[in-house]
């Protein structure tokens, strides 16, 4: 496995692959890798000749009161996991390498960023857009792999790729969960034992909602949101940041009082939640497709 700490080293490492017209699959991460990342790496491994993993905790996507300084890091463990997934090249730049000067260019994807994490973390997706476009320019992958736990991030990146004619296919990978349903996240390590137990309510409430929708596909958007909100309030001490039901991937509002089934035949919608447990903010979501029955996709 080739470890590159500079853009120059990375460009040299991928030159051979490009010369031989090999496909490059890219998995951008902020490290502290878990099974969710491993699933992206395995998918990239099976689709491509060369797999590039980047590990970079991007300061531009953290707000002033967020967890940049305490974001978990473990380079040795990350490299071992990368090797076990068959990664060819790891890009591990420093902040100075990625941002030698304050960037004066902004990537701002409108509309898809106006709700959910875009609303509660102002500037977050500008930072994601900037670093992902820099990484795409450096790595020049044919395919890039993203997990659907960050479904809004996937929608933002797809919009950016489309708007800027970036020559890369965005591959969506499913959320990987603990056996009790908790969506894997590098931030799960911060949870106290009590919050770790309560946090399973997020996925449980999404599952319960799916059962309700199968029985009664005439629930309104407000009723769905109220159902999830009530589950979280009843079963946890967490502080709700948002519970929303939106069209996916446009992330536009679902009109109140319209039956989901009648208004959105064959469309997809997302139920997304963000809850703070102590100082740890967790997100989760479920994607549904409306048909004769409402399927989880
Ligand atoms: O999803 C993440 O880990 C980050 O937002 C990403 C895409 C690596 C950009 O820093």
- Give the residue with greater pLDDT, 260 vs 92: 92
Strand order in the sheet with 268-277: 239-247, 268-277, 280-290, 294-296
Residue-level pLDDT at 265: 65
State pLDDT tens for residues 201-239: 999 999 999 999 888 767 888 999 999 999 999 999 999
Q: 130 CB less than 6 Å from ligand 1? A: no
pTM of the model: 0.96
State pLDDT tens for residues 94-153: 999 999 999 999 999 999 999 999 999 999 999 999 999 999 999 999 999 999 999 999
Among 38, 58, 137, 151, the mutation site with the greatest number of ligand 1 atoms within 8 A of its Cβ is: 58
Residue 289: pLDDT over 90: no
Domains of the chain, each with CATH number or no CATH:
2-173 (3.40.50.620), 186-296 (3.30.1300.10)
Query: What whole-number distance in Å separates Cα of residue 83 and Cα of residue 164?
Result: 33
Q: Where are the beta strands (DSSP E) in 12-98?
A: 24-29, 50-55, 89-91
In order of 32, 34, 47, 249, 295, the CA distances from 259 in angstroms are 42, 39, 40, 19, 16
Residue-level pLDDT at 295: 84
Q: Are 283 and 149 in contact (CB under 8 A)?
A: yes
Q: 280 CB less than 6 Å from ligand 1? A: no
């Amino acid at each position: 496995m080739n470890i590159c700490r500079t853009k120059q080293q990375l460009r040299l490492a991928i030159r051979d692959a490009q010369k031989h017209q090999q496909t490059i699959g890219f998995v951008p991460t902020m490290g502290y890798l878990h099974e969710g990342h491993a699933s992206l790496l395995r998918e990239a491994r099976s689709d491509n000749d060369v797999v590039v993993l980047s590990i970079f905790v991007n300061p531009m996507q953290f707000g002033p009161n967020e967890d940049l300084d305490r974001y978990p890091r473990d380079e040795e463990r990350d490299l071992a996991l990368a090797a076990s997934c068959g990664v060819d090249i790891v890009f591990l730049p420093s902040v100075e390498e990625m941002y030698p000067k304050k960037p004066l260019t902004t990537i701002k994807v409108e509309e898809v960023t106006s709700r959910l994490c875009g609303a509660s973390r102002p500037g977050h997706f500008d930072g994601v857009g900037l670093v992902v476009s820099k990484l795409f320019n450096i790595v020049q992958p044919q395919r890039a792999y993203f997990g659907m736990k960050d479904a809004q991030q996937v929608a933002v990146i797809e919009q950016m790729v489309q708007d800027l004619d970036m020559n890369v296919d965005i591959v969506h990978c499913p959320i990987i969960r603990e056996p009790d349903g908790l969506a894997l996240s590098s931030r799960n390590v911060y949870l106290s034992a009590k919050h770790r137990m309560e946090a399973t309510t997020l996925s449980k409430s999404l599952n319960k909602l799916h059962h309700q929708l199968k029985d009664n596909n005439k629930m309104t958007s407000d009723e769905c949101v109220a159902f999830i909100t009530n589950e979280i309030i009843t079963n946890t001490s967490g502080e709700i940041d948002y519970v929303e039901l939106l069209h996916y991937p446009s992330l536009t509002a679902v009109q109140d009082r319209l039956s989901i089934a009648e208004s959105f035949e064959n469309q997809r919608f997302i139920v997304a939640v963000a809850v703070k447990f102590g100082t740890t903010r967790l997100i989760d979501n479920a994607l549904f497709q409306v048909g004769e029955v409402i399927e989880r996709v």
